[in-house]
């Protein structure tokens, strides 16, 4: 273990094994432990720390309290052509999303495209994990999920949408996938919690108090701003797109009707919806045409002129660099996560990686 100020670094393999062991010790089945750990490690390896292993404590509270079913019987509840619906049986959202994307890829292999709506799910972490899963198997992947209200509308002064992420990934021959993963809020709420743990101020214009007034102290945040700053109607519109795909299309609750992620009720299932899609590039154009187009696009993008002191990067480039660094240096764990790991290790008779 290495330490840098208040942040501790632990080998990725040790962190991954610890997380998986905690899930099993808390009563989750092997499939849930594997999927939830894989999704969290995606966040921590690629630098999406707000949706990385710092979520372990929350997930264990949800499973222990009964909100999340640690032994779900997930099944395809209906199917029509290239479309299917997955009932997640209130299991972990990561297991549901990976299962749904696997089904979407099966449909895409036959139909060229596959779309799966997910119902009775729970928080699934970083949407990019599931789009990336598809791209690593040669498909274009998309993933969406709504969440409980924490984001005001443009010029609004009440919580309306969730952070409602959008993710898209495309395979690139001989290179890591093109990976785009964004919240439709200015920042995700978990980043507010991360900044609070690290004692940092928030950037301008990303969060508000209860009256919609911008603030920078993460401890005082009551709402997030929609993506777009002065043009926040764009972020609010994108959040609505996610709301329709995730909640309306699955028959699940809208963001403002969902129980809060952070409790206090950890016994009642939240019934989240989500939506994933896979596309087979070779169903649209010959594979070599698609591969040449992606290579050409990225070659010109990365070689295009940059502003002074800046570097042009493709979506995913930063994440792959961070992953390489963290494979060497270890996974950074903020103070709150270190404390949570220590408590969980003591509770279940395990050894914390920090």
Q: What is the pLDDT of residues 249-279, one digit of tens each?
A: 999 999 999 999 999 999 999 999 999 999 9
Q: Is residue 301 part of a domain?
A: no
In a domain, 310, yes or no: no
Residue 302 included in any domain: no
Domain boundaries, position 12: 2-294+315-348
Q: Within 13 Å of residue 177, how many CA atoms lie on the same side as its CB?
A: 24
Residue 8 lies in a domain: yes
pLDDT band at 5 (very low <50, low <70, confident <90, very high): low
Would residue 303 count as lying in a domain? no
Return the pLDDT at 6: 87
pLDDT above 60: residue 3: no
Give the C-alpha separation, 197 to 206, whole Å.
Answer: 18
Strands (E), 130-225: 140-145, 151-152, 159-161, 166-172, 175-182, 207-208, 223-224
All residues at 6 or more sequence positions from 230 whose CB lies less than 8 Å from its CB, including other chains: none
Q: How far apart are CA 329 and CA 72, in angstroms?
A: 36
Structure confidence at residue 191 (pLDDT):
80
**Residue 278: its pLDDT value, please?**
98
Q: How many domains does the chain have?
A: 1
Q: Check whether 322 has a pLDDT greater than 60.
A: yes
Interacting residues of 127 by C-beta distance below 8 A, sequence separation 6+? 143, 144, 145, 165, 166, 167, 181
Q: Does residue 263 fall inside a structural domain?
A: yes
Mean pLDDT of 24-32: 98
Give the residues across from 3 on adjacent strands. 8
pLDDT tops 90 at residue 286: yes
- Phi/psi of residue 80, nearest 5 degrees: -150, 110
Task: Confirm if 297 and 139 have CB atoms less than 8 A apart.
Answer: no
If you average pLDDT over residues 47-56, what whole number do you get? 94
Name the one residue in this structure whose structure tokens are 């999704």: 39
Q: Is residue 46 part of a domain?
A: yes
Residue 280 lies in a domain: yes
State percent of the chain over pLDDT 70.
99
The tens digit of pLDDT for each residue in 186-199 reads 987 878 887 888 89
CATH number of the domain at 176, please. 3.30.1370.60
Q: Using alpha carbons only, give the angle 245, 251, 255 rounded to the nearest 5 degrees.
A: 65
pLDDT higher than threshold 60 for residue 287: yes
pLDDT digits (tens, 9 = 90+) for 89-109: 999 999 999 999 999 999 999
pLDDT confidence bin for 4, thresholds 50/70/90: low
């Amino acid at each position: 273990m290495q330490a840098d100020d208040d942040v501790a670094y632990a080998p990725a393999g040790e962190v991954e094994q610890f997380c998986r062991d905690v899930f099993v010790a808390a009563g989750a089945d092997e499939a849930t432990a594997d999927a939830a750990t894989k999704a969290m490690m995606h966040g921590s390896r690629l630098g999406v720390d707000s949706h990385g292993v710092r979520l372990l404590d929350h997930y264990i509270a949800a499973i222990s309290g009964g909100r999340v079913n640690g032994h779900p019987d997930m099944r395809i509840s209906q199917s029509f052509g290239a479309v299917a619906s997955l009932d997640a049986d209130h299991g972990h959202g990561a297991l549901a999303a990976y299962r749904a994307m696997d089904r979407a890829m099966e449909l895409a292999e036959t139909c060229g495209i596959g779309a799966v709506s997910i119902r009775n799910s729970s928080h699934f972490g970083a949407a990019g994990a599931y789009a990336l899963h598809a791209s690593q198997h040669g498909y274009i992947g998309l993933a969406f999920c709504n969440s409980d209200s924490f984001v005001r509308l443009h010029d609004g002064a009440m919580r309306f949408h969730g952070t409602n992420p959008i993710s898209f990934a495309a395979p690139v021959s001989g290179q890591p996938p093109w990976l785009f993963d964004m919240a439709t809020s200015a920042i995700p709420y978990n980043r507010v919690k991360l900044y609070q743990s690290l004692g940092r101020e928030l950037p301008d214009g990303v969060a508000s108090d209860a009256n919609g007034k911008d603030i920078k102290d993460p401890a005082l945040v009551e709402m997030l701003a929609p993506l777009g700053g002065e043009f926040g109607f764009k972020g609010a519109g994108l959040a609505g797109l996610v709301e329709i795909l995730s909640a309306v299309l699955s028959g699940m609750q809208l963001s403002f009707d969902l129980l809060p992620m952070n409790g206090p009720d950890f016994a009642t299932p939240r019934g989240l919806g989500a939506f994933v899609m896979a596309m087979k590039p070779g169903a649209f154009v010959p594979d070599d045409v698609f591969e040449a187009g992606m290579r050409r696009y990225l070659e010109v993008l990365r070689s295009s002129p940059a502003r002074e002191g800046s570097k042009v990067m493709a979506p995913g480039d930063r994440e792959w660099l961070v992953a390489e660094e963290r494979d060497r240096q270890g996974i950074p764990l903020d103070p709150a996560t270190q404390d949570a790991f220590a408590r969980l290790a003591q509770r279940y008779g395990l050894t914390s990686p920090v």
